[in-house]
Structure 1
Amino acid sequence: MEHIALYRAWRPQSFQDMVGQQHIIQTLQNAIREQRVSHAYLFSGPRGTGKTSAAKVLAKAVNCERGPGPEPCNECPSCLRITAGNVMDVQEIDAASNRGVEEIRDLRDKVKYAPTEVRRKVYIIDEVHMLTTEAFNALLKTLEEPPPHVMFILATTEPHKLPATIISRCQRFDFRRVSLEEQSGRLAEICQKEGITADADALQYIARLSDGGMRDALSILDQISSFTDGNVTYQQVLGMTGGIPSEQFARLATAILEGDMGRLLELVEQLMQEGKSADKCLENLLYYFRDLLMIKMVPGADQLTDRVLNPAEFRDMAAAFSRERLFQIVETLNRYLGEMKYATHPQTLFEVALMKLCSMQQEAAPSLHAAAAAASAMRGEPSTSVQADDAGELEALKRQIAALEKKLEQAIQSGGVSGGGRDAAPAPRAAASSAPRISSPSKLPPQLDKFIAGKDNPDFAAVYKQWSLVLQGVKEEKVTVHAWFVDGEPVSVMEDAVLVAFKNTIHRDTTEKPANRQVIENVFAARLGKPYRLVTIMQRDWNEAAQKSAAQPGTEELRLEHEHEEAGAKTEPWIDEAIQLFGEDLVVIKE
């Protein structure tokens, strides 16, 4: 026996068979029951939602020999012949291929003749938006005042392309996408009657893929049931349709959260090896983060999307991201999705988008840590790392820093710092320099004396001369490392090591991370002609060590003094604190 596609075999033959369009069905049935049927209808909506099927059912209902009634009997000769398409008075016209003015003029000439086989002539014009402007003009008058025995039913997926003069002459019904629950129930009913064994999550995933179109859902079910010999499982649906389970998106999101680029690239390569499409992966990942944002911001938002199968897992993942972070991710993915339409290598753009998300995470953390450290130092407290989980905490931190800056400005104007229960007395500059700073004590590199002895050797001169090339090489390798490393300056070379002095502690600590150090040392080997180790020191510690070495017996101490500073002049300790917090380049001392 010849196989008939499921969407054809299960096409609705009565109003009660239609799924998800109850608002339209009830209106049409009431109109037929009360004999208030219009002469022209416009059915609009997405594909596969039942527009043409509803038009045929309506044609049978008004021409049923046992009616007209709210439901066609599907047993009388008129209903059976209309179903088979053998009635000349019920014509289905494809406007995509009969779009010219001549075809519409021919239709207009035939409308005046009375029906010969059934009660009313019915013209179903499918994809009516494809008609030309001249064809619409030829149809206008007939559509407005047709003979009493004629009914027009226009169907389209793009009603905005129809002239307003056409729309105003019809009763318009907007078909909506079929909900996930209604589709899943209809698929389960068809599977039961067709003898197909299907898992509930498999049918739900098929319904999600169809995007609200019942015809698409039945086509996918027909294809998968043929492949699996009547036994449909969730994994088989994923394999056949190229879908991606939410668990893989969760692994991608975890790698983004942890900033693990290596793991991200492995997951992308795994998806590509499975035959997934890069643009589809990016689109679905955008939907995943959109759902995370909805669940984080709107209570009960798991009911607003058909993609959330396990709300508990989504809530746990949403709690791990801040709102600002999710907004950044959605905006970035949306921008790259637009660019992917014109990309020659979509996989590369997909990888770049994910690495961009990781780099955004890595850049946001140090800047927030630096702001928190500055605020703590201005209060005279130890530096602590702060994580702003939402916008409220971030705004509170900004207000706190602004208040502290105002307090510092008042202290400068009054000539001293009066806070924290301690009033500092003036002290000589030398004493202030040797006094302990607010920040934690710096670690000194081993063999510092050898570095001091080698600060004037020819190797250091060569390294210093090529330092701009080193910075350019680091920038080409990894721009985020360059942002931290550019704060350093070479001060000495010893055999296989380069000593770099930093003004800011956080820049030094970030540069010393193993991954960042490896990048810099690779550039050393490439740009300096031989492998060098990276050794770091704080600029103030290097200056103090160099001054102590110059002050040894038998040597003359060289000291640079400010031109406005006299011998024995004294300064305030808050000047030293300001230099420590903001750096010598940003502090200007005025008498």
Structure 2
Amino acid sequence: MQFRDIVGQQAIKQRLLATVRENRVSHAQLFLGPEGSGSLPLAIAYAQYVSCEDQQPEDSCGVCASCRKYQKLVHPDLHFSYPFFARHKDDTALSFIEQWREALTAQPYLSMDIWRSYLEADNKQANINIAECHQIIKKLSLKPFESAYKILILWLPEYLDKEGNTLLKLIEEPQPNTLFLLVAQNQEQILNTILSRTQLIKIPALTYEEVKAELIKRGQTEPAAAETAYLSSGNLTEALQLLHQQDGKGYHQPFINWLRNCVVNKVPDIMSGFVEQIAKAGRENQKNFLRYGISYLRECCLLLAGAEELVHLPAAELETAKKLTAFINLPMAEAISAVLEKAHYHIERNANPKILFLDVSLQIVKILHFKMLPAGTQYI
């Protein structure tokens, strides 16, 4: 993994490069960023750069023996630790290293849900157990084999329970030329004793434009990339998953048509048309449709609040949103959003989609008509 392979995050890349050039490499660093921001690829690219035999000004060379081994995730001085679903009490991350390499090679922007699909999770809870902590101590007590540094990348330290305290002395006083790179998503779930011993590197979510550009680069049409980037809210992992789940028609027009029928109170059309179609769409598409509606109404709320400069909608969707805000007010938008959020919650728990979406439709009709639409309304 090289820095050039990572989407956006230019400021973070320059900061990491500077620490190596200026010989300010901290022995324990915490890469903290939301899912899909690229925190894990950044940690791997940083480790590769540190170990590169021919470091370039802006990236690792990519061709030396060290870089070739890093690209295959088989370098003897690169170690990984991560949550797993232990089958036996003495299982460690090494028990699942082949699945890890396969998952990480297929999707560097890895999420816990994707990682789970590579393992036999059953009903087990993922964690980093005491056996893994002891294995980490054992591995890092040895000197580097080939490179100047021995590096451990610990993905999701949030899954370290009190067993994580076993690592404190090693993190605080490691062997010479040993690097701990922790990659986390939720600072509040990390042991404070570990937090206090690491240098924090905050990684922001990707921008709408960065996600959109990456999706177009991967062969998506501009309309599909724009809608998916908008729906993913800066999470590239989610954006890539959404592309596989969509049926190619998008969510904007079906959502607007649904609202139109609710505005004019066409309950028969809602029952025979929209409800029947959405019930056949599958649970993931139903969830994404609702999430699109929630996000779209959030942008409408920004328009209603006079903050148009903060709205990031494709041109056609922005035009429709402006028409929508001509007759819907802020309390209405907030009320409909709340209904959609509740529906999303129930879809996740396998609610009957026909009953659910009919009920949601009737609630939206009630909100739109009992909140009193302005006289002379021009429907969208």
TM-score between the two structures when normalised by the length of structure 1: 0.51
| Corresponding position of 2:177 | 149
| Corresponding position of 1:294 | 302
| Corresponding position of 2:50 | 62
Contact kept, 8 Å, 1:286 with 1:330, in 2: the verdict is: yes
Q: Deviations over 1:345-381 (max 9, x none)?
A: 232122122213323444455xx9xxxxxxxxxxxxx
| Corresponding position of 2:144 | 115
How far off its partner does 1:209 sit?
Answer: 4.9
1:109/1:270 CA distance change after superposition, 3 Å = closer
Task: Select the residue among 322, 325, 333 that pairs with 1:318.
Answer: 325
| Corresponding position of 1:84 | 72
Hey, what's the Cα distance between the residues in 1 that align with 2:65 and 2:256? Answer: 57
| Corresponding position of 2:114 | none
Hey, what's the Cα distance between the residues in 2 that align with 1:361 and 1:127? Answer: 44
How far off its partner does 1:53 sit?
Answer: 1.7
| Corresponding position of 1:527 | none
Hey, what's the Cα distance between the residues in 2 that align with 1:342 and 1:82? Answer: 41
1:348/1:96 CA distance change after superposition, 3 Å = same
Contact kept, 8 Å, 2:208 with 2:312, in 1: the verdict is: no
Contact kept, 8 Å, 2:82 with 2:154, in 1: the verdict is: yes
Q: Deviations over 1:271-310 (max 9, x none)?
A: 3365254555444333333332322222415x43457753
Hey, what's the Cα distance between the residues in 2 that align with 1:182 and 1:341? Answer: 29
1:359/1:23 CA distance change after superposition, 3 Å = same
Task: Select the residue among 154, 159, 164 that pairs with 1:130.
Answer: 159
Contact kept, 8 Å, 1:20 with 1:177, in 2: the verdict is: no
Hey, what's the Cα distance between the residues in 1 that align with 2:239 and 2:17? Answer: 27
Hey, what's the Cα distance between the residues in 1 that align with 2:23 and 2:14? Answer: 14
AA matched with 2:352: H
How far off its partner does 1:92 sit?
Answer: 1.9
Contact kept, 8 Å, 1:260 with 1:358, in 2: the verdict is: no
Hey, what's the Cα distance between the residues in 1 that align with 2:348 and 2:146? Answer: 53
Larger radius of gyration: 1
| Corresponding position of 1:272 | 278
| Corresponding position of 1:189 | 217
Q: Deviations over 1:46-87 (max 9, x none)?
A: 333322222221122112222486521112212222222332
Hey, what's the Cα distance between the residues in 1 that align with 2:22 and 2:151? Answer: 19
How far off its partner does 1:143 sit?
Answer: 0.1
Contact kept, 8 Å, 1:92 with 1:123, in 2: the verdict is: yes
1:158/1:123 CA distance change after superposition, 3 Å = same
| Corresponding position of 2:261 | 255
2:25 counterpart of 1:37: yes
2:218 counterpart of 1:212: no
Instruction: Tell me the secondary structure at the aligned position of residue 86 of structure 1.
Output: coil
How far off its partner does 1:142 sit?
Answer: 0.7
1:309/1:31 CA distance change after superposition, 3 Å = farther
Contact kept, 8 Å, 1:286 with 1:333, in 2: the verdict is: yes
| Corresponding position of 2:104 | none
Instruction: Tell me the secondary structure at the aligned position of residue 239 of structure 1.
Output: coil
Structure 2 residue runs of 5 or longer lacking an equivalent are 86-91, 93-127
Hey, what's the Cα distance between the residues in 2 that align with 1:332 and 1:354? Answer: 9
Instruction: Tell me the secondary structure at the aligned position of residue 105 of structure 1.
Output: helix
Hey, what's the Cα distance between the residues in 1 that align with 2:60 and 2:347? Answer: 50
Q: Cα RMSD (Å) of the superposition?
A: 3.1
Hey, what's the Cα distance between the residues in 2 that align with 1:338 and 1:329? Answer: 14
Alignment of 1:435-584 (within 5 A): none
| Corresponding position of 1:356 | 363
1:143/1:70 CA distance change after superposition, 3 Å = farther
Hey, what's the Cα distance between the residues in 2 that align with 1:261 and 1:326? Answer: 20
AA matched with 1:146: P
Contact kept, 8 Å, 2:232 with 2:238, in 1: the verdict is: yes
1:168/1:127 CA distance change after superposition, 3 Å = same
Q: Deviations over 1:441-475 (max 9, x none)?
A: xxxxxxxxxxxxxxxxxxxxxxxxxxxxxxxxxxx
Aligned sequence identity (%) = 23
Instruction: Tell me the secondary structure at the aligned position of residue 48 of structure 1.
Output: coil
How far off its partner does 1:151 sit?
Answer: 0.6
2:18 counterpart of 1:23: no
How far off its partner does 1:245 sit?
Answer: 3.0
Hey, what's the Cα distance between the residues in 1 that align with 2:140 and 2:279? Answer: 59
Hey, what's the Cα distance between the residues in 2 that align with 1:273 and 1:101? Answer: 45
Structure 1 residue runs of 5 or longer lacking an equivalent are 1-12, 192-197, 224-236, 369-385, 390-591
Hey, what's the Cα distance between the residues in 1 that align with 2:345 and 2:69? Answer: 50
